Amino acid sequence: MRKIIPSLMAMALLLFLSTFAVAEPAGQDNPEAVTEKSGVAEKARSAGHSVLSGIKGVLDNLGVTEDVNTASGKGAVANKGNKVVKNSKVNDKVTNQANIDKSANVARGENATANMGALTVEDATVTGSVGNRADIYRSSNVARGNNASANMGTITMRKSSVEGSVKNQAKIAKSSNVARGNGATANMGTVTMLGGNVKGSVDNEAAVSKSANVAIGEGATANMGSVTLKDAEVEGSVSNQASISATRNVATGEGATSNVGSISID
C-alpha cells in the first residue's frame, strides 16, 4: 500500500499539472443551452455550471474544454459542468449533460467541495426524472481541506423527493479525482442519496478507465462506480453497472473506506 499511494498521487499530480499546461484562462461553454428564470445565467456561463435555487425550470447541456476553475477559502465550492438544484420545486425533469476535456477544477479550504460533471439535488422536489450524463477525459478534480468532497461524474441527492427515476451515466478516462483532508470523500461515477425518496428506479452506469480516485485522511471514503443509499426510500429498483479497467480507487487513513462497483443501502 505504501508503494501504491505515492504512485497514485504522482499520477494525479501529473494529470493535474499537464491539464494546467494545456489549459487557457477562459473556458468554452454553451450558454445558449441554459434556461433560467432568476438571473443566474451569467454566473453559470462564467464558471461552466448552473444553479437553480427557489425556482421552477429545466437545465440542460453544458460543455467545458481546456479550462481552469479554482475556489479557495472556508466552504469553497468549485463547479465545472455541474448543476445544483437547491431549495426548489421543479415541475419537470432535471438533467445535466457535460462534456469535459483537458480541464482542472480545484477547491481548497475547510469543507471544500469540487464538482465536475455532476448533478446535485438538495432539499428539493422534482416531479419528473433526474438524470446526469458526463463524458470526462484527461481532467483533474481536486478538493483539499477537512471534510473535503470531490465528485466526478456523479449524482448526489440530499433530503429530496423525486417522482420519476434517477439515472447517472458517466464515462471517465485518463482523469484523476482527489479529496484530501480528515473526513474527505472522493466519488467517481457514483449515485449517492442521503435521505429523501424516489418513486421510480435508481440506476448508475459507470465506465471508468485509466483513472485514479483517491481519498486521503482520517475517516476518508473513496467510492468508484457505486451506489450509496442512506436513510433513503426507493419504491422502484436499484441497479448498478460498473465497467472499470486499469484504474485505482484508494482510501487511506484511519477508518478509511474504499468501495468499487458496489451497492450500499443503510
pTM: 0.79
How confident is the model over 133-192, as pLDDT tens digits?
Answer: 999 999 999 999 999 999 999 999 999 999 999 999 999 999 999 999 999 999 999 999
How far is the C-alpha of 130 from the C-alpha of 63, rounded, in Å? 19
How far is the C-alpha of 263 from the C-alpha of 220, rounded, in Å? 18
How far is the C-alpha of 143 from the C-alpha of 227, rounded, in Å? 21
Angle at CA 223, nearest 5°, toward 49 and 226? 90
How far is the C-alpha of 138 from the C-alpha of 38, rounded, in Å? 34
- pLDDT for residue 12: 52
How far is the C-alpha of 151 from the C-alpha of 157, rounded, in Å? 12
**Confidence band, pLDDT 50/70/90 cuts, at residue 245:** very high
Residues 220, 179 contacting (CB under 8 angstroms): yes
Q: Which has more pLDDT, 224 or 45?
A: 224
Tell me the domain boundaries of the chain.
4-265
- Asked whether residue 10 carries a pLDDT value surpassing 80, the answer given is no
Q: Which has more pLDDT, 8 or 142?
A: 142
**What are the b/e assignments for 215-246, b being 16+ CB within 10 Å?**
bbbebbbbbbbbbbbeebebeeebebebebee
